[in-house]
Amino acid sequence: MTAGNGLMAGKRGLVMGVANDRSIAWGIAKAVAAEGAELAFTYPNESMAKRVKPLAEQLGSNIVLECDVASDASIDAAFAGIAELWDRLDFLVHAIAFSDREELKGQYLDTSRRNFALTLDISCYSFTAVCQRAARMMSAGGSLITLTYYGAERVMPHYNVMGVAKAALESAVRYLAAELGPKGIRVHAISPGPLATRAASGIPEFDELLDKAKAKAPARSLVSIEDVGVATAFLAHDAARLITGETLYIDGGYHIID
Ligand code: NAD
């Protein structure tokens, strides 16, 4: 997919999870906007609004709605806001995760019940919750895309309960893909290699993860948010209409190497 050919002109997408210009969601938003897609954005609380609104404006969007995915009422309000402006949705990007960073410092064994529930709620269940609402706006089909990480499959230092949440998320993607496929709705997880974002700053010794990723990946390169963006744009495009339920690695091939 070459940037800037208007391949997604006429498509409408909701991007959830932009925190700043290093966010993976921002890389995706730039890629789909470059192909002509019209975008709406969400932010979790008022203090994030002032960061997200100027970024949305850069891509010509003034649809920026509050949505704390921990709250069904907040998700309902956000989708009601979108439905007032748009009669359909073509794609949704869910780039949201959260865990208590104190618990990522120690062992998985010490995970508290409270943080297990919180991490699974925000980082996994919330994708199902937003898919419920988004699917109702996809009567002409569409795609639902979330972000995962290799720590779902293999034990990664300090990824801890987030790895458990991502494993559940990847499974949820397959169930959702099976159920929504007959409606022409495709569901995917994208699994990028490590990226130095705000969320990643909560993972201890993240720099070592970056060094290892670069040394071990066949491409001998770290991925960028732009790399994740173009791959996501492809999955959201009609050309990918018969691809669903995938976990797509954008990691320079890291996952194939022992
Ligand atoms: P980021 O900090 O830029 O994005 C995380 C987003 O989650 C933020 O926008 C934050 O506002 C949002 N969020 C947290 N709690 C929320 C809530 N209750 N309601 C609504 N939004 C909430 O970091 P990122 O690395 O771009 O993370 C995006 C996704 O990519 C996450 O799912 C993350 O696990 C995944 N991922 C990241 C990496 C990496 O190395 N950075 C690798 C693979 C996958």
* Amino acid, single-letter form, for residue 223: V
CA 166 to chain centre: 11
What pLDDT sits at residue 90? 98
Looking only at the bridges linking them, the beta strands covering 142-147 and 91-94 are: parallel
Probe residue for ligand 1, chosen from 147, 190, 222, 232 as the CB with the greatest number of ligand atoms within 8 Å: 147
Kindly report, residue by residue over 135-144, the tens digit of the pLDDT: 999 999 999 9
Residue 88 resides in a domain: yes
Catalytic residues, by residue number, are 149, 159
Residue 94 resides in a domain: yes
Residues spanned by the domain of 202: 12-248
Name residues whose C-beta falls within 8 Å of residue 125's C-beta, 6 or more positions apart in sequence: none
What pLDDT sits at residue 228? 98
Residue 255 resides in a domain: no
Q: Give residue 17 CA to ligand 1 midpoint distance, Å.
A: 6
Q: Give residue 199 CA to ligand 1 midpoint distance, Å.
A: 5
Residue 23 resides in a domain: yes
Name residues whose C-beta falls within 8 Å of residue 38's C-beta, 6 or more positions apart in sequence: 10, 11, 12, 13, 61
What pLDDT sits at residue 202? 87
Least Cα distance to 101 among 113, 123, 119 occurs for 119
How many whole angstroms separate alpha carbon 193 and alpha carbon 123? 18
Q: Considering the entire predicted model, what is its pTM?
A: 0.98
DSSP H or E stretch at residue 68? none
CA 212 to chain centre: 23
Domains identified in the chain, total number: 1
Residue 254 resides in a domain: no
What pLDDT sits at residue 4? 79
Q: Is the CB of 98 under 6 A from ligand 1?
A: yes
Probe residue for ligand 1, chosen from 30, 94, 96, 133 as the CB with the greatest number of ligand atoms within 8 Å: 96
Regions of the chain where pLDDT drops below 50: 1
Structure tokens at 144: 């639902």
Task: For residue 215, count CB atoms less than 10 angstroms from its CB and return exposed for 0-12, middle for 13-18, buried for 19 or more.
Answer: exposed
CATH of the domain at 153: 3.40.50.720
Q: Which atom of ligand 1 is nearest to the CA of 48?
A: 11
Kindly report, residue by residue over 166-179, the tens digit of the pLDDT: 999 999 999 999 99
Question: What φ, ψ does residue 35 adopt, rounded to 5°?
Answer: -90, 10
How many whole angstroms separate alpha carbon 223 and alpha carbon 193? 6
Residue 76 resides in a domain: yes
What pLDDT sits at residue 3? 60
Q: Classify 140 as helix, strand or coil.
A: coil
How many whole angstroms separate alpha carbon 18 and alpha carbon 49? 10
Least Cα distance to 136 among 189, 92, 71 occurs for 92
